[in-house]
Amino acid sequence: MERTLSIIKPDGVEKGVIGEVIRRFEANKIKIVAMKMICMTKAQAQGFYAVHKDRPFFDTLTDFMSSGPAVVMVLEGENVIARNRELMGATDYRKAAEGTIRRDFATDIEKNIVHGSDAPETAAFEIGYFFNRFEIMS
């Protein structure tokens, strides 16, 4: 059993696809074990995306991530890190497979609707960044 962090980014909330994203998780037997809506500060977004601090898009990305409400969730299931990444689709929505969340709803490489952890170590860091253990259902 694995856990991963999912975020419905501010553009996903703005576009009204919170329900649709969650529907896809549930339809794929992915369990939500923690969930909340937050407005990230710029500093909080910078800390979350610290691995990207030297990338050219770091400043606009962290502006975007702190631009409005986002929904953060902990997902649980077998192989859920990879399965969530599969449902999300490639970072660039133009390269994302048909039927993926990003292909269906994103219109920008940066504003791409969802985040998902990419490995067990990043999942552990990212879950701990937003949730304490009392907020995660066991």
Annotated active-site positions, please? Answer: 115
The answer to the question of residue 118 lying near ligand IDP (CB under 6 A) is yes
Binding region for Mg ion (CB under 5 A) out of 16-24, 58-66, 97-105, 118-126: 118-126
Q: How far apart are CA 12 and CA 24, in angstroms?
A: 14
Among 91, 94, 99, 129, binds ligand IDP (CB under 6 A): 91
As a whole number of Å, the end-to-end CA separation of the chain is 12
Q: Confirm or reject binding of residue 57 to ligand IDP (CB under 6 A).
A: yes
Cβ distance 130 to 117 under 8 Å? Answer: no
DSSP β-bridge partners for residue 77: 2
Counting contacts by CB under 6 A, is residue 24 touching ligand IDP? no
Choose among 7, 27, 42, 37: nearest CA to 126: 7
Minimum distance of ligand IDP from residue 16's CB (angstroms): 19
- The reply on whether position 2 binds ligand IDP by CB under 6 A is no
Cβ atoms < 10 Å from Cβ of 121: 9
Site residues, ligand IDP (CB under 6 A)? 52, 57, 61, 91, 109-110, 112, 115, 118
